[in-house]
Amino acid sequence: MKLNFFKYQGTGNDFVMIDNRHESFDKKNIKQISFLCDRRLGIGADGLILLENHDTLDFKMTYYNADGRQSSMCGNGGRCITAFANYLGVVSDKATFEAIDGIHHSIIEDNVVRLEMQNVSQIESSGTHVFLDTGSPHHVQMESELQTMDVKMSGSKIRYGELYKNEGCNINFVSKINDAGFAVRTYERGVEDETLSCGTGVTAVALAMHYIGATEKNVVTLNTKGGELQVTFDACDGSYSNIWLIGPTEQVYKGEIQW
């Protein structure tokens, strides 16, 4: 069987993109999805995304982690599927689509895609970390030796530890650059490794840093290993709305794979 696919990346967070408007892709085949995301045997990606028809909106986004299982919201994936929909002629410079966490709006400006995220009203802060859900659950903690730390080891220890033993969690390590900028490294569940960037992760970091008073800005720049992202938001009494994730996207290549 042959499958036509596209490869997209947003600040190094990469995805296999498939046009599934004709519903020909077997969404229940976890082994197949995992194979396509395998960097040695398949195409290689942090996740796989299906663009599907929607009755009333521009399209539907269905996202799978690299382990082959359907997952929670992916911010960079939402930006990349907007670019993919534009490439296919499904949308022009604006899109409204459904993802697993609800309805999203997005705007295309050249190669930059702005994605509106869901409002966040519940944030838990302890002495060591902040926990919040930005479409996916995120643990955020400050680190003084961010550049030299073993993110895979440290992240997996927290992800599988007592705090998140039931559902697991994405783990973000952060250091402050200036009043409006932070460096971020993220361990993603489902990938079970550090990724070059995580959209819901940097969104969580921006909100968490504002929540604990590490920044007073509502336009925050996040430096990841894969590039720079921005998060803007409105804050009121510990709740956050009008949240936008902003950054570049790129179609890396397209091809055909047989299995």
Q: In this predicted structure, what is the pLDDT of residue 222?
A: 98
Residue 112, domain member (yes or no): no
Domain of residue 180: give its range. 123-247
Q: In this predicted structure, what is the pLDDT of residue 259?
A: 74
> Is residue 193 domain-shared with residue 253, that is, in the same domain?
no
> Is residue 52 domain-shared with residue 69, that is, in the same domain?
yes
Amino acid at 229: L
Residue 239, domain member (yes or no): yes
Residue 153, domain member (yes or no): yes
Q: Quick check: 52 and 20 in contact, CB under 8 A?
A: yes
> Is residue 209 domain-shared with residue 99, that is, in the same domain?
no
How many angstroms separate the CA atoms of 155 and 8, rounded?
A: 25
C-beta atoms surrounding 25 within 10 Å: 17
Sign of CA dihedral 146, 200, 44, 111: negative
Q: In this predicted structure, what is the pLDDT of residue 157?
A: 97
β-pair partners for 258: 2
Sites in the chain below the pLDDT cut of 50: none
> Is residue 131 domain-shared with residue 236, that is, in the same domain?
yes
Euclidean distance between the first and the last CA atom of the chain, given in angstroms as a whole number? 6
> Is residue 69 domain-shared with residue 178, that is, in the same domain?
no
Q: Could you give the residue numbers annotated as active site? A: 74, 198
Q: In this predicted structure, what is the pLDDT of residue 121?
A: 97
| Nearest partner of 116 among 75, 80, 86, judged by Cα | 75
Residue 85, domain member (yes or no): yes
> Is residue 98 domain-shared with residue 137, that is, in the same domain?
no
CATH number at residue 172: 3.10.310.10
Percent of the chain with pLDDT over 90: 97
Phi-psi sector, 71: left (phi>0), alpha (psi -120 to 50), beta: beta
Pairing assessment for the beta strands 94-99 and 102-109 based on DSSP bridges: antiparallel
Q: Quick check: 97 and 106 in contact, CB under 8 A?
A: yes
> Is residue 238 domain-shared with residue 253, that is, in the same domain?
no
Quote the number of domains for the chain.
Answer: 2
